[in-house]
Amino acid sequence: MSQFLKLGFLASRNGSSARAILGAIEAGSLNAEPRLVVSNNRTAPVLEFAAARAVPTLCIPTQSDPEAADGALRDALQAAGVELVVLSGYLRQLGPQTLARYRGRVLNIHPGPLPDFGGHGMYGRRVHEAVIAAGVAESGACIHLVDEEYDRGPVVARRAVEVRPDDTAETLEARVTALEPGFFVETLQRIADGRLKLPA
């Protein structure tokens, strides 16, 4: 039995996964409702993208008072009726108030195998550089639940990408980045359909 997911999005810049998910909702290929897009950056292009689609947006700066920002974020998501939070390049660690309210209901996508290639400072090209340096045969994207530690929450879906002998960090990054948005949409639809159950 499919349900409509009530989604909130957190993004610091372009929010490529958020854009793909909003596009899939618009096209009718994802059973979800976008309730709110939040950024910690006033000039994040994702805010304009969402507003053009009549999705409510909000900027909550986090640097000057992280504790107050955490409470404001929790309250804003709750007031918008958000049930599942999607991180789309959100470059801040979530605070305890938001995590307590949405425990087990915050999803992030990581551009490499977890837990081996995650942790503080492991994002973007650094992940692909580490994968190449380790000489592993396979990389890929992991969608995982977010908790208090960077990239340590349970993985709920994986999509493998072969590491080719001639790969550089740039070429591997390009292939992983290309699959991430569609993989996120597909995973959310599996959750909506009940084919993928998040841990209780």
Active site amino acids = 110
3-state SS of the chain: helix, strand, coil percent to 5? 35, 20, 40
Residue keyed to tokens 């979800």: 32
Signed CA dihedral, 172, 173, 178, 183: sign only: positive
**Identity of the residue numbered 191:** I
Alpha-helix residue ranges (DSSP H) falling in the chain:
16-27, 45-51, 66-79, 96-101, 125-134, 169-193
Do 167 and 132 touch, CB atoms closer than 8 A? yes
Interatomic CA distance for residues 182 and 154, integer angstroms: 20
How far, in Å, CA of 15 to CA of 177, rounded? 12
Q: Which 8-state DSSP code applies to residue 80?
A: T
In sequence order, what are the beta bridge partners of 152?
none
Residue 74's nearest CA partner among 107, 105, 99 is 99
